Amino acid sequence: MIRILIVEDERPIADLIQLSLEGAGYHCDCVYDGIAAADLITNQQFDLILLDVMLPGASGFELMDYIRPTGMPVIFLTAKADVNDRVRGLHLGADDYLVKPFEIIELQARVEAVLRRYKKLDRLIEIGDLEIDTYSRTVKRDGAEIALTKKEFDLLLLFARNPNIALYRETIYERVWESDYMGDSRTVDLHIQRLRKKVGWETRLKAVYKIGYRLEV
């Protein structure tokens, strides 16, 4: 599932964005100040960040110093309509800049456009001899379908959409099981062991010491 971080200090706006995007099938996390956003961005991976400019703690422009090294795409959401601010945001590495007030339908269209640009919404993902159909949630190897449970498929898709990135066990658990990580890594490890065998990723899906796992592509 695509995971989006919403960084917006006006809670009614954040709630509206979250409600609309989750209705479209995305998973959303919300934070309301720059410091909390910096902590999440440093320790977790998101498919897209929706970032307000005027935030308590640290501004959206300042947060770009944390975001740029991660490669995570960013759409600025802001009331600052001045062209110089828009240019500054784009020069800092943002992928788009949407001025408040905006229509939710326009936000959804821009979200989809950025995700397509980063190839996160492609229907078919091919890795080696494996073909993943994200629409039908089916997986084939050399044309033969592989039966996966829902969690196994979600795990597979998480790694396929984040190749060559070391993912923390906490991140994996929270993304796939959609609940807070309680410190027990056995659930994650067992599911990954089964997934490796089923899809033939024994050498491709590597454990990363004291962190979690990385899909090497």
CATH number at residue 9: 3.40.50.2300
3-state secondary structure of 192: helix
Instruction: Give the span between the Cα atoms of 168 and 212, in whole angstroms.
Output: 5
Residue range 17-48, pLDDT digits in tens: 998 888 777 889 999 999 999 999 988 989 99
Whether residue 138 is found in the same domain as residue 113: no
Strand ranges (E), 91-143: 96-99, 124-127, 130-133, 138-141
Asked if 69 contacts 42 with a C-beta cutoff of 8 angstroms, the reply is: no
Whether residue 113 is found in the same domain as residue 12: yes
- Tell me what the pLDDT averaged over the chain comes to: 89
Highest mean pLDDT among 3-17, 71-85, 172-186: 3-17
pTM assigned to the model: 0.61
Q: Give yes or no for residue 182 having a pLDDT over 90.
A: no
Q: How far is CA 141 from CA 18, 127, 198, 201, in A?
A: 36, 10, 10, 11
Whether residue 18 is found in the same domain as residue 112: yes
Q: If 0-12 CB within 10 Å is exposed, 13-18 middle and 19+ buried, where does residue 217 land?
A: exposed
Q: How far is CA 190 from CA 57, 70, 94, 173, 185, in A?
A: 40, 28, 38, 12, 9
Whether residue 197 is found in the same domain as residue 103: no
Instruction: Give the span between the Cα atoms of 4 and 50, in whole angstroms.
Output: 7
Among 23-27, 147-151, 173-177, the least confident range: 23-27
Whether residue 137 is found in the same domain as residue 85: no
Whether residue 84 is found in the same domain as residue 111: yes
Beta bridge partners of 51: 7, 76
**Of the residues 117, 151, 179, the one at which a domain ends:** 117
Number of compact structural domains in the chain? 2
Q: Give yes or no for residue 172 having a pLDDT over 90.
A: no
Range of the domain at 29: 3-117
28: Cβ–Cβ under 8 A, 6 or more apart, which residues? Answer: 3, 4, 5, 6, 17, 18, 21, 22
